[in-house]
Structure 1
Amino acid sequence: MASAAHLTAGLVQHACSDDPDSNLARTERGIRDAAARGARLVLLQELHRTPYFCKQEDPAVFDMAEPIPGPTTNFLSNLAKELEVVIVGSLFERRAAGLYHNTAVVLDSDGRLAGHYRKMHIPDDPGYYEKFYFTPGDTGFEPVDTSVGRLGVLVCWDQWFPEAARLMALAGAEILLYPTAIGWADEDDRDERERQRDAWMLVQRGHAVANGLPVLVCNRHGREPDPANPAAGATFWGTSFVAGPQGELLASADEDGDQVLLATLDMKRSETVRRMWPFLRDRRVDHYHDLVRLYRR
């Protein structure tokens, strides 16, 4: 559980190249910067060691996957222990031959692998062919206990589903965290781009309000071409942000550019907010049975 009334969190937003080692070096610089500025919790973006490779279906990409524990978790573990910070990372997990996941890992401030979460909701859309690569997670919606609190870690596409945020809150999560890789397609015009990003921020700020919890969202930035068609691709919109338990924006990064975003969370505020807005108290669980159905008609 949280040992202090206030917690400074850092979000490391950066572009990714085809060089995993270069990407990891960028991540390391960001973590060190955040720790030097007082962060005790550092959130990284989705699949921070690689380009976003789901723009096409290519069996050779599976060679980038790694076990847990493995090279990336060992690297982050040593860094967490050295800097005495909690790090939430994201990687392409090879669980077994033919069984792969999009997995978030939590390294505690003593370097211990405190837990992991396997992405539950897997998209399959143009430019986001994740079902080819990732098996849906089997970890459930269970928070991870760390030295800075109980962390409700989810991943990217999970952020559109209120059920995921609610189940983490009902399991005692004190913070919701979303490593993310989301952007615009080249064909999207300016108005469509603004609608998409506004919806993305709005739904996650809504999770903060509905659950009375702070929300941390770390997204990559930069244009990444489609390997099958370099003239096409996606531009990831950055805009990593931190919202408080009433959805208030505490900090927001730029649309473009590597950036280490810091925000200080009042860890007592959720209790105050939930006393004023007791949504958990007023839930009608005796009438929610149809929520487990795919559709009612």
Structure 2
Amino acid sequence: MKLAALQLRATGDRDETIRRAAELIDEAAAQGARVVLMPEFFAIPFVQPEPDPGYVKWAEPMDGPSNELCSRKSAEHGITIVSSFFEGTSVPGIYHNTSVTFVRGEARQVYRKSHLPFSNGFPEKFYFRPGQEPPSVVDAGDVKLGTIICYERHFPELSRTVALDGGEVLCVPVASASAPMKEVFQLELRAHAAFNQFFVICSNRVGLEGTKDYFGLSAVYGPDGTVLAQVPDGEEGVAVAEADVEGMRASRMRRPFFRDRRPELYGAIIEERTEGAK
């Protein structure tokens, strides 16, 4: 089967951005992609370094324009599309950074970003309430996949949670613009793939938005950390890669990392530690 990372330049014209996103989804589907990942908040500008209460004008309901596109294209092509949008709720002041997985047009999973930064020019804690559920896996028929969002790639516990839930593909929609992070960004994604023996799809924005220059590097990574396909730097486009899922499953038998885990030794990972505790 084939997996696709979509790379897009968002502007202040949501309708036009969605139109271009639709063209890129069609392009990925024409190349045979069965799973397509959208960038974080693909249809709208992302947050700027200074908190801005006016940014909430971009919030959408669950059936807003971002998800309408992904649901429609998922049904049209009979594929899985992982959306990402700024979720508004019926409660004043409560918003989420949310992904929705559509399988052949049906919303199968909603995941709300649970780890929110307020650093490095991304004051997300100002806008969003963190999600309260761990990432979980969706059976898309061809493959089982789970999603974590952007900043959450810094927390390996989350991707391991997806792997232990049976995940074979990890989807990571991101909005990453910090030039010094470019090398670490790719290192982290390769590590998630290799440690968990699964495929990783990462979709980033591209281009200048205010003070941020999004560097792209949207890609599909193999279970050994190899870059299987990547969108050229600075361009809109799709990276489509063949995913040998059966080979991945066989590799998990030859190198049985999950069999050899010792969970009883890992308690410190989930313990609350106070300063000075040993």
The answer to whether structure 1 residue 277 and structure 2 residue 255 are counterparts is yes
Structure 2 partner of 1:188: none
SS in 1 for 2:243: strand
**Does 2:1 align with 1:12?**
no
| 1:120 paired residue number | 114
- Alignment check: 8 A CA contact 1:181 1:236 kept: yes
- Corresponding residue for residue 168 of structure 2: 174
Q: Structure 1 residues 294, 54: CA separation in 2 closer, same or farther (over 3 Å shift)?
A: farther
Alpha-carbon distance between aligned partners in 2 of 1:38 and 1:235, rounded to the nearest angstrom: 31
CA RMSD of aligned residues (A): 1.4
The answer to whether the Cα contact below 8 Å between 1:86 and 1:147 also exists between their aligned partners in 2 is no
TM-score (norm 1): 0.88
Mapped to 2, the partners of 1:39 and 1:183 lie a distance apart of: 27
Report whether the alignment pairs 1:100 with 2:95. yes
Question: Which 4+ residue blocks in structure 1 deviate beyond 6 angstroms?
Answer: none
Instruction: Find out whether 1:214 has 2:192 as its counterpart.
Output: no
Give the superposition deviation at 1:162. 0.7
- Aligned residue identity for 1:213: F
8 Å Cα contact 1:245/1:269 also seen in 2: no
From 32, 37, 41, give the equivalent of 1:43.
37
* Matched pairs, number: 274
1:75 to 52, 57, 69: 69
SS of alignment partner, residue 55 of structure 1: coil
> Identity, % of aligned pairs?
34
- CA deviation after TM superposition for structure 1 residue 69, in Å: 3.0
Paired residue for 1:262? 240
Determine the C-alpha separation between the residues in 2 that align with 1:213 and 1:255. 25
For residues 204 and 84 of structure 1, do their structure 2 counterparts lie closer, same or farther at Cα, with a shift above 3 Å needed?
Answer: same
Return 5+ residue gaps in structure 2 as ranges: none
The 3-state SS of whatever aligns with 2:4 is strand
TM-score of the aligned structures, taking structure 2 as reference length? 0.94
1:128-167 aligned within 5 A: 128-167=122-161
Whole-angstrom CA distance in 1 between matches of 2:11 and 2:56: 17
Q: Which runs of 5+ in 1 are unaligned?
A: 1-6, 185-192, 226-232
Q: Is the 8 A contact 2:48 2:212 kept in 1?
A: no
Partner SS for 1:204: helix
Per the TM alignment, residue 294 of structure 1 is displaced from its structure 2 partner at its CA by: 4.3
